[in-house]
Structure formats: structure tokens, C-alpha cells
């Protein structure tokens, strides 16, 4: 845990801009995912004027070194410096990568609590954004790895190896059901559960394994695993993420549709 900063002295952090809003004609409010202090909302005074101390401007999905004065009595800190390190230009050259990157930013903004440090997830997020420079067919593999890391870091890791109700091992079982209210598998289909095929489950269990698996999974199974993790994230948040429709469609049996996810989430008291 980083030491508490002085009220007037900035702290310096590598940071990813995940979102920004206009504050005035010349200033912005920026949501930064910092490596050691988590998500911070900061005021960037004069960021839209020429000659500001924010090199390259503060744009979404760019990486920089941020100087921040932490305001402990306020939800809004002050951005004093922004030194652009990586503009992530490859994300602007492909619509598929651009949409996937905004979904990644959306996941951070909705799943991670403000000011809660997640250095490992920060590193995995940068890995994911940089991996989007690869071929478009690998996008769901990138998203699956990122979403798994985000769920684990947020404390919502799915239980994939035992029946949460009977505590019996489910390794080697055929098609199973996932109960989002329990965050775990069960061998009994019931209202509110989601069916998982063996191929999708195999991909998810590979994500959960500490040992790398060099076998090549079928692209369809990877895509279904990515969609499943997106549906589970939507269930936890209480609604589909705003950018989910840009990267997921509603035509596969291994993940609930947007309508089903909304219905399942209707009773939640989560924001």
C-alpha cells in the first residue's frame, strides 16, 4: 500500500486514462487507472488549452505518468502533470480493437472500486491493450484473459471445479450449468442458471490454471468463453456494460442474451 501523500504534494503514478468528461470550456474530469492507487477521478484544469502541463493532451486509452494531488476530503483529486508515454495508436487504426479497448475501459470503470489498488490488473490491462495490435481473430482471446483477471481481482472469480451445492468435483463432467448468484457451477439446470458446453468450460479452466496450456483451443470456444465472462460481469454490475454490444452478439448458447442478463440482474442492488 503506498504511503499517504501530503495534501499539497503530488504523487507520481503510471496511469491509464479510462474516461474523461468536459468540466468547463477549458478543463476536464478524468478517470485514471493508476498502478498503485487504483482508479482515481481527477480534475485536469486547463487541459483543453494550448500550453498546459499535460503533454499530448489527456485522451481515453492513453498511458502516461501522472502527477496527482490526492484530496482526501473530496472524491475529486487534482491532476498537476501528465507526461504521455504511450498513445496506443494501434487502437485507433482498427475498429475491432478500438471497440474492444473501450470495453476493457468500461469493465475497469464498472467492476473496480475507486482508490482500490490493483497493480497486477493494471499490468494485465496494459498487456491486453497492447495485444489488440494482433490479428482481429485473437480479440476474444485477449478479452477472455483480461476479463478473467478483472473478475479475479475484483473478488468474483468463478468456481469451475466443484459443485458449489454438493461440494463434489465436476472435473471431467459433461455440459454443466453456471449459477451467477453463486458464482459457481452446478450439475443441475435450474431457472436462472446458464448452460456451459465442455469446450467453453475447457477454455475457462485454462484461464484458471497457473500452468500455461500450449494446446490451441477452437476459436468458437474461446469466443463463447469471452461472451460468458462478459455476461457474468454484466450480471454483477446489474446491467450490460455500455460497450458490450460493440464486442458481443446475442446468438450463442453458452452466454445469456442481453435481455436475459437484464432480467437476471433486475433484482440486484448494485451500481
What distance lies between CA 20 and its chain's CA centroid?
A: 17
Tell me the torsion sign for CA atoms 109, 114, 115, 117.
negative
Containing structural domain, residue 79: 11-87
In a shared domain, residues 144 and 165: yes
Maximal CA-CA distance, the chain? 64
Show the cell assigned to 123.
Answer: 499490468
Residues in contact with 18: Cβ distance below 8 Å, sequence separation at least 6, in sequence order: 31, 32, 33, 39, 60, 61, 105, 108, 109
The domain boundary residue, chosen from 71, 87, 103: 87
CATH label of the domain that carries residue 235: 1.20.1440.120
Is the domain of 149 the same as that of 208?
yes
* pLDDT tens, N- to C-terminus, the chain (271 residues): 565 555 679 999 999 999 998 888 888 999 999 999 999 999 999 877 777 777 766 899 999 999 999 987 788 999 999 999 999 999 999 999 999 999 999 999 999 999 999 999 999 999 999 999 999 999 999 999 999 999 999 999 999 988 877 888 887 666 688 999 999 998 777 889 999 988 999 999 999 988 877 778 999 999 999 999 999 999 999 999 999 999 997 544 455 544 444 443 333 322 2
In a domain, 52, yes or no: yes
Select from 229, 245, 240 the least CA-distant residue to 262: 240
Query: How far is 211 from 230, CA to CA, in rounded Å?
Result: 24
CATH number at 45 reads: 2.40.50.140
pLDDT at residue 176 in the model: 84
pTM over 0.85: yes
Nearest Cα neighbor of 161 from 205, 112, 218, 207 is 205
pLDDT of residue 18: 97
Position 148 in a domain: yes
Number of domains in the chain: 2
Last residue of a domain, one of 70, 87, 104: 87
Amino acid at each position: 500500500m503506498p504511503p499517504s501523500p501530503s495534501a499539497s504534494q503530488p504523487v507520481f503514478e503510471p496511469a491509464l486514462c479510462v474516461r474523461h468528461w468536459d468540466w468547463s470550456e477549458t478543463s476536464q474530469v478524468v478517470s485514471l487507472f493508476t498502478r498503485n492507487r487504483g482508479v482515481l477521478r481527477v480534475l485536469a484544469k486547463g487541459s483543453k488549452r494550448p500550453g498546459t502541463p499535460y503533454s499530448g493532451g489527456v485522451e481515453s486509452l492513453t498511458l502516461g505518468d501522472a502527477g496527482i494531488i490526492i484530496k482526501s476530503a473530496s472524491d475529486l483529486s487534482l491532476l498537476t502533470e501528465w507526461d504521455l508515454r504511450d498513445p496506443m495508436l494501434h487502437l485507433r487504426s482498427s475498429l475491432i480493437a478500438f471497440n474492444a479497448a473501450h470495453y476493457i475501459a468500461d469493465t475497469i470503470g464498472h467492476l473496480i472500486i475507486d482508490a482500490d489498488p490493483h497493480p497486477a490488473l493494471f499490468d494485465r490491462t496494459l498487456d491486453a491493450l497492447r495485444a489488440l495490435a494482433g490479428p482481429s481473430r485473437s480479440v476474444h482471446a485477449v478479452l477472455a484473459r483480461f476479463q478473467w483477471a478483472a473478475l479475479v481481482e475484483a473478488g468474483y472469480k468463478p468456481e469451475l471445479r466443484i459443485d458449489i451445492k454438493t461440494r463434489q468435483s465436476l472435473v471431467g463432467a459433461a455440459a454443466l450449468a453456471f449459477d451467477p448468484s453463486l458464482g459457481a457451477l452446478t450439475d443441475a439446470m435450474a431457472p436462472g442458471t446458464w448452460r456451459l458446453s465442455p469446450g467453453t468450460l475447457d477454455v475457462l479452466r485454462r484461464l484458471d490454471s497457473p500452468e500455461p496450456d500450449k494446446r490451441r483451443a477452437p476459436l468458437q470456444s474461446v469466443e463463447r468463453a469471452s461472451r460468458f465472462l462478459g455476461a457474468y460481469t454484466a450480471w454483477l454490475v446489474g446491467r450490460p456494460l455500455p460497450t458490450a454490444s460493440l464486442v458481443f452478439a446475442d446468438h450463442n448458447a453458452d452466454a445469456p442474451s442481453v435481455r436475459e442478463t437484464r432480467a437476471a440482474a433486475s433484482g440486484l442492488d448494485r451500481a
